[in-house]
Amino acid sequence: MAHDVPIVEHLGVLCRFRQEFYGCLTRRADALFELTDAVLCADGPVRDLVGLSPAAEHRRGHGALYGAINHGRVEISRLRRALAGLPLPRAADGRIVLGVDVSPWLRPARFPTPHTR
């Protein structure tokens, strides 16, 4: 049981964050929350939203999905505080653990760089 304590603590942090995130959703909260779960639990990249409708995490039809996107509201400042309040992930020895993508794949140019202006 002693080795399960960190897992229980992590699950507690996750549960508290999910509750706080749900509180940030001020309109169409249930549909937005299910949409978020569907995006996070998708097997691969999400290419279109309608493809999330059949996901088990999104129990609503595609009409509710688009209704949530078009009419749902997120309280951004509250979400920002919730994210900033999360503990940093740490290794067993206390070092901070961060995930970094170091793949050599080119990324799409979303923002102009000084060289492309």
- The pLDDT value recorded for residue 113 is 57
Q: What total number of domains does the chain contain?
A: 1
> Which regions of the chain are under pLDDT 70?
1-5, 107-117
Identify whether 100 is part of a domain. no
- The pLDDT value recorded for residue 77 is 96
The CA-atom distances, in angstroms, between 5 and each of 1, 2, 26, 69, 92 are 7, 6, 34, 38, 13
Identify whether 90 is part of a domain. no
Q: Which of 67, 78, 82, 85 is nearest to 29 (CA)?
A: 67
- The pLDDT value recorded for residue 1 is 41
Identify whether 50 is part of a domain. yes
Identify whether 33 is part of a domain. yes
| Residue 98 DSSP SS3 | coil
Say if residues 56 and 19 touch (Cβ distance below 8 Å).
no
- The pLDDT value recorded for residue 45 is 82
Helix and strand element counts for the chain (H, E): 4, 2
